[in-house]
Structure 1
Amino acid sequence: MSDNVAHALAGAGGGMISMAVTYPLITVNTRLQVQRKKDSTSYTGNMDAIRKILSAEGIAGLFSGLESALFGAAVTNGVYYYFFEAVKAAFERASKRKNMSTVESMVSGAVAGAMTCIITNPIWVVNTRLTVKQKNTAEKEEETPTTVQAFAEIIKEDGVLALWQGIIPALILVINPIIQYTAFEQLKNRVERFRKLGSLDFFVLGAISKLAATSITYPYILLKSRMQLKQSKNEGERYDSLVDGLRKVVAQEGVAGLYKGIESKLLQSVLTASFLFMSKEALFSYAVKLLILLGARRSLASAK
């Protein structure tokens, strides 16, 4: 068996670790993204959102939808790394070079990103709806739906296709990991010319690459979150397409509306990518050992 599965397992584990560490920032960012009207309960910024969530919902409010997010992070990163490493290996076999070119990195990222979007979009539709669902701590009788219940509710009320709401901006956002992983691979290749990389190097390179990717693609990230919500019957609040969404956000909230909540998103994205790259590299060797123990992969000694 090739290293694709080991990379997928390591990526899944790294994704869950990074998601758990940064999830409160995801909650704050998502709620700011989908917020359109201003009233006494509206969030005026990141710190105000944290204060109001803690006041109304307690610590648990910052972790709304964590169950689906951890599952989504594991599947997303597992699928992404599997296809990325598979395409990468194909390029390396064809060119007989160890390191990919910039174009090859971009193609690998595009293929992996597109496959990941199509497979995991239903998970993130559910997670977005669970994350923005607010619950008052005084309302003890109101039970937060589980991930499975939320899936069933969406299918019952909106149909199966609703699980792929926001797929167009999600596919456009394939450019995000393309930028991220291309920048990461090229920076890694440059540093490796001089020395062997350590955990801190992967942390820093992951942060730099994700910062660039998120800054460029943020308006599409915001639109994806809004389109994944249950769409309003009100014409002014419903987004019929990506272009329609862009037009309505700018008309109703100004250009600044396209960057609502970007501060928490940048911090969360950078930390997530940093922890992901660092933990994924650390987990890879354990994933290989696990596959060897399961008999799904030969050891290097027996392969020689």
Structure 2
Amino acid sequence: MSDNVAHALSGAAGGVVSMALTYPLITISSRLQVQKDNKAAEAYKGGRDAIIKILKNEGFSGLYSGVSSAIFGIAVTNGVYYYFYEWTKAMFEKSAKSKRPISIKESMLSGAIAGALTAVVTNPIWVVNTRMTTRKDSLDENIQSESNVRQARARRLGTISTVLKIIEEDGIMAFWQGVIPALILVINPIIQYTAYEQLKVQLEKLRKLGNLDFFLLGAVSKLIATGITYPYIVVKSRMQLRQSSRESSRYNSVLDGIRKIIKDEGIGGLYKGITYKLLQSVLTAAFLFMYKEAFFAYSVALLKFINSRPLVSR
């Protein structure tokens, strides 16, 4: 069995650990991203206010809304991504006339192929997770009173219930809402992994790398990528909600979404929740790269053990 599977397993395991450690930050940034009306009584005035209101209205578990679908989603996402990223990278390395690290262009192409496949395969998972995390079906929903808050808490839906509701109300294709900005956001991991690989190569020339190095490399590379692509993240999150019947609230395309956000909320609307998203993205990427490297050796050992076991006939 190839190293691609070991990379997929270690990437999935690293993703699960990093997601579990940083999930409250995802909840906060996601709710700020999809919030259009900042003047409503229960609107979040910022990240700190969001934390206070979530804890008050929903309890500590509110910070982990949709965590089960997110854990499943990140495991699948990272598994698929790392498998195809390492597979594509290995193809470039085999085709090279001499043994050398892959070039920047090859690293970017590897990221593009892996990212596009991952976006299409896993988009349904993130549609479900976005709706569970934000506790909203549509951008038009605004909780403006204490009684409405209690009603919203009473009708919390689990993963299966959310899936069935989406199918019943919006049809199967709703699971691919926001897939276009998700495909555009393939540039995020391209930037991230290209920066990571190139910085890693340069540091390896100076010394043997340890867990702290992988942590810092992951943090720096993700900071660069998320800072550049954040407006698309906001549009994707909003498009993954149920689209409103009102033209002013419906995003017909990525550019239409960007245009309407700027018109209704100003440039700042494209960067709602960016502080917590950057913090979450940087920490998640840092933990991911650190734990992936740590889990890789165990994944290789596990696969060798599985392959060495004799088949039992029945």
TM range (shorter): over 0.9
Q: Deviations along 1:203-257, whole A, 9 cap, x unmatched?
A: 0000000000000000000000000001111111111111110110000000111
Distance in 2 (CA, whole Å) between partners of 1:39 and 1:252 is: 15
Deviation of 1:296 (Å): 7.2
- Which segments of 5 or more consecutive residues in structure 2 lack a partner in the other structure? 137-142, 310-314
Normalised by the size of structure 2, how large is the TM-score? 0.92
Q: Cα RMSD over matched residues?
A: 1.6
Could you tell me which residue of structure 2 aligns to residue 24 of structure 1? 24
Give the AA of the match of 1:153: K
Q: Does residue 246 in structure 1 map to residue 258 in structure 2?
A: yes
Could you tell me which residue of structure 1 aligns to residue 217 of structure 2? 205
283, 290, 293: which one pairs with 2:302? 290
163, 174, 196: which one pairs with 1:162? 174
Q: Deviations along 1:5-64, whole A, 9 cap, x unmatched?
A: 000000000000000000000000000000001211000101000011001001000000
Deviation of 1:99 (Å): 1.0
Q: Does residue 183 in structure 1 map to residue 195 in structure 2?
A: yes
Is the contact between residue 58 and residue 153 of structure 2 (CA under 8 Å) also seen in structure 1? Answer: no
Is the contact between residue 58 and residue 137 of structure 1 (CA under 8 Å) also seen in structure 2? Answer: no
* Superposed counterparts of 1:212-227, under 5 Å: 212-227=224-239
Is the contact between residue 169 and residue 223 of structure 1 (CA under 8 Å) also seen in structure 2? Answer: yes
Deviation of 1:137 (Å): 8.1
Q: Deviations along 1:143-175, whole A, 9 cap, x unmatched?
A: 532212211211111011100000010000000
Stretch deviating more after TM superposition (137-146 or 88-97): 137-146
Stretch deviating more after TM superposition (245-254 or 92-101): 92-101
Is the contact between residue 7 and residue 284 of structure 1 (CA under 8 Å) also seen in structure 2? Answer: yes
% identity of equivalent residues: 62
SS at match of 2:41: coil
Give the AA of the match of 1:164: W
Could you tell me which residue of structure 2 aligns to residue 44 of structure 1? 45
Distance in 2 (CA, whole Å) between partners of 1:242 and 1:123 is: 20
Stretch deviating more after TM superposition (288-297 or 65-74): 288-297
Deviation of 1:97 (Å): 2.5
Deviation of 1:194 (Å): 1.4
Q: Does residue 257 in structure 1 map to residue 258 in structure 2?
A: no
Is the contact between residue 28 and residue 62 of structure 1 (CA under 8 Å) also seen in structure 2? Answer: yes
Distance in 2 (CA, whole Å) between partners of 1:13 and 1:282 is: 10
Distance in 2 (CA, whole Å) between partners of 1:157 and 1:268 is: 32
Distance in 1 (CA, whole Å) between partners of 2:95 and 2:301 is: 28
